Every structure is written in structure tokens, then in C-alpha cells.
Amino acid sequence: MDSTTSTDEIAFDSPFFRIYKDGRVDRFQGTDTVPPSLDPQTGVQSQDVRFSSDPDLSVRLFLPGSSDPARKLPLLVYFHGGAFCIESPFSPIYARHLNTLASAAGVAAVSVHYRWAPEHPLPAAYDDAWAAVRWVAAHALGERGAVAESWLRDRADFDRVFLAGDSAGANIAQHVAARAGVEGLPGLRIVGVALVHPFFRNDGPDKLMDFIFPSSSGVTDPRMNPAYDPNLGRMAGQRALVFVAEKDHLRERGRSYYEALKKSGWKGVVEIGRASS
């Protein structure tokens, strides 16, 4: 076989990225970035903080500019979507999204960067997300680490922490909340979780999962299918909000998660929000 032909064999193809059998990845979107700034439309300030060098991990922080400097703000920890393979806190779409969220909700926000699959297969993204929330928690505990950020230390209310994400990021947010409920997360009190069209696995074959999470146990892996998590009822938080969209192919997975959480014995309040498009 011609070497050029063999190296160009496609293992997985989507409108957003292409994975070749030799491990290369072509990303067609989700790689653009914008620098942190003072957003002129919302007045929200942002800055980037690199909190780990091995692995290389960072966050983008957002702070409403009109808030009283003496007042502590609820803290939103946000995980972006993109099938675990594209997008970042630094992309234009998520920079705009978090600027709007921070301004409208009056919260300080931490938008978490995690390593992309398939170059860094899952569970790398889960590990990175957990490392990020533990770094946030270190500020609440007054720990003296290599990287500390005054915006968090001085402005965040660590007793009012919300986890949120969309698509793959909603999956990660749920995982972090579930892990915090089992292992604990000293310093942070998670009060709510918001999952926007969450990307969970169904009970059928999923070719994408085979590439981005090769070590997964399959359809019963609780990280990809929380309905199989025996500890789902121990998830941290007092309220969960699941959003699904009528025409989204992930809608049934979101509804299934909503039903599973209701039946799990979780002591919080779970609601589902539906959009018509």
C-alpha cells in the first residue's frame, strides 16, 4: 500500500474534526482564541492563570466590573463543550458566553481549560477538571501554593459555588459534582449544578467514544453514563438543572439523566428545562 494513502486513512470523521488511523487530528473549528480583556459590552474583566505546568493547565477568570469590591460574589466554575476534542475557555464563543453569564448573574467565574482528546484520551479531561476545582478550593483553605489569584481569594464566596457546562462540559461538571459528593472537596460548598444539553453515552455503540476514551468500560461506565453510577445519589449540591433542546440529538440522554437522578435518592431538587429549538 502506498505510504501516503495509509497515513491518510480516516478513523473517524465529523463536521468538526477528523481523526486519522495514525493518530493525527485535523480540527476544522474550535481552535481560535481571543486574549483576556475588559469587555466593553458587559464591563466584565477577564484574565488567564496558568496553575499547573505538568500537565499544562490554565483557567480564564471573569469578574463583573460593576460589582462592589467589598462584596463576595457567588462562584461559577464552567466547563466548555466541544466533544472533548475542540474549543477552550479562550475561544471567542466561550469568552462571549462567560462575559454574558458573569454580567447577567453577577458571579465570579472560572472557565476551565482541559486537555483535548484523542491526543490526551479520557479520563485526562476529568483529571484536569478535578485539578482545577482543587486549585480553586486551595484559595478557600488559605493554602500557599505556587499560583494564587487575588480575584478568587478576595472576591469569591466559596460557600456559594455552582458547577456548569454544556455538552461535553456538562458531562465533566456532573462528574466533578459526583466525585465531590463521594470524596469531598474541602473549602468549597457546591450548591448547584447546571447541565446544558449534556453529552452522555447511550446504551448503543459509539464510535467516537472508542477513540476518545479507549480505556472506558463501555456503556456502563458511570463517567459517560451516570445512570450506572451506584453513588449518583451522593452527588454534591442542593439543586440540579438539566437543559435539553427539542431538536438536539442529545436530548434523550439529558432526559434519561434527569430521570436517573430523580430515582437515585439524591436529596436535592432536580429540574429539567426544555427549549423548542
- How much is the mean pLDDT over the chain? 93
- From 77, 76, 94, 79, select the one nearest 29 (Cα to Cα): 94
pLDDT tens track for 226-260: 999 999 999 999 999 999 988 888 899 999 999 99
For residues 261 and 170, what is the distance between their CA atoms, to the nearest angstrom? 15
- Average pLDDT of the segment spanning 49-60: 96
Residue 169 has pLDDT above 90, yes or no: yes
pLDDT at 250: 86
Note if the bond before 118 is cis, omega within 30 degrees: yes
pLDDT tens track for 212-235: 999 999 999 999 999 999 999 999
pLDDT tens track for 130-165: 999 999 999 999 886 657 799 999 999 999 999 999
Write the burial class of residue 63 (CB in 10 Å: 0-12 exposed, 13-18 middle, 19+ buried): buried
- Average pLDDT of the segment spanning 205-217: 89
Cβ proximity of 219 and 209 under 8 Å: no
For residues 258 and 264, what is the distance between their CA atoms, to the nearest angstrom? 10
Give domain limits for the chain. 1-30, 31-275
Q: Is 167 a catalytic residue?
A: yes
pLDDT at 61: 98
Task: Return the CATH fold of 31-275.
Answer: Rossmann fold (3.40.50)
- Average pLDDT of the segment spanning 100-112: 98
pLDDT at 146: 59
Check 167, 216, 217, 276 and give the catalytic one.
Answer: 167
Residue 27 has pLDDT above 60, yes or no: yes
Residues above pLDDT 90, as percent of the chain: 79
Residue 55 has pLDDT above 90, yes or no: yes
Cβ proximity of 51 and 135 under 8 Å: yes
